[in-house]
Structure 1
Amino acid sequence: MCGLCGAFGAPDHWSDGVARPGPAQAGRRARAEAANRVLGLYGLRLAAWADRYTLSGRTGRTAMVDHLGTLWPAAERLAGRPCDPLDLAIIVALEAR
């Protein structure tokens, strides 16, 4: 995965969407659920927690993730291998579900 998405540590990230009325946590949970479809194939799980995300692996290792721009580099560290959501094998596995 390209490291550029994780290079910007700004508190607001484009993946958080535009400000909408209503609870921001609902949108954050929906984004975590969508990311988990891919992360599950790497043995990882993302959960919305306060204004951040918690990324955890099967071994219990965890990482705090501020936004989806920092998700993939953190996922690669926890998984110990490259995590590419655009990998053809991942796309095929998702479509098979």
Structure 2
Amino acid sequence: MDTVPLPSPLLSELIALRAHTRHLGWLSERERCPEQYERLARTVLQDLLDGWLAQTDGIGRLEDLIQPLAHTLPQAPSTRCGSPMTQSQPHMTTREFT
């Protein structure tokens, strides 16, 4: 029996995050709560930035996650989860983001 490899706990969390956020645009067209949305969105972005900083040894930036992938990775990424990646740009710290 062939088994399908499951993603790591980290990737499982990101998949779950995507599953829970994919309808935000649709819901935002139907509900108005900008102050609460902004506050909660900032905490989600902060969590993503903290994880990205850990993944990139502190040199990742929030912009890396927003820009198209081709513009943020100077070299082809490794296919192995957990392999080191390098960036030559300055990073945004968590204090600069909040």
TM-score by length of 1: 0.32
Structure with greater proportional strand content: 1
> Highest CA radius of gyration, 1 or 2?
2
Structure with greater proportional helix content: 2
TM-score by length of 2: 0.32
